[in-house]
Amino acid sequence: QAQLLESGGGLVQVGDSLRLACAASGRTYAMGWFRQAPGKEREFVAAIRWSTSNTYYRDSMKGRFTISRGHVENAVYLQMNNLNVEDTAVYYCAARARFFYTGVTLTTPSAFDYWGQGTQVTVSS
């Protein structure tokens, strides 16, 4: 069973940047990030498919957030720029360990098999 190790959360000011990192211990075919703010449902942030390097983003985060491959295999970064208070949440890394061709929507939690413990991102005004 794969394990995910996240890092990079913290307390920042409005307009600051943060980079989250996540590494999986096993083979993955895609990785992504979701977030959950207090009192809200978990929502998709971004995902990347390794075989095509295709990336996917929540519309509201396009241009501010960038998902990319990590420096080691089965690792991913999430660069977050121009953060605002509404970005405050626990950010969860997710990994898909099942092979897939098409027909899988990487914007839904059900597409992923393993989850990290979450890292807190707090944006202060």
Start-to-end Cα distance in the chain = 40
Residue range 32-55: average pLDDT?
Answer: 95
Residue range 43-59: average pLDDT?
Answer: 95
b/e burial code for range 75-89 (CB count within 10 A of at least 16 → b):
bbbbbbeebeeebbb
pLDDT-above-70 percentage for the chain: 100
Write down the pLDDT at residue 76.
96
φ and ψ at residue 122, rounded to 5 degrees: -120, 125
Residue range 99-113: average pLDDT?
Answer: 89
Tens digit of each residue's pLDDT (9 = 90 or more) over 66-87: 999 887 888 999 999 999 999 9
Tell me what the pLDDT averaged over the chain comes to: 94
Amino acid at 121: V
Write down the pLDDT at residue 78.
98
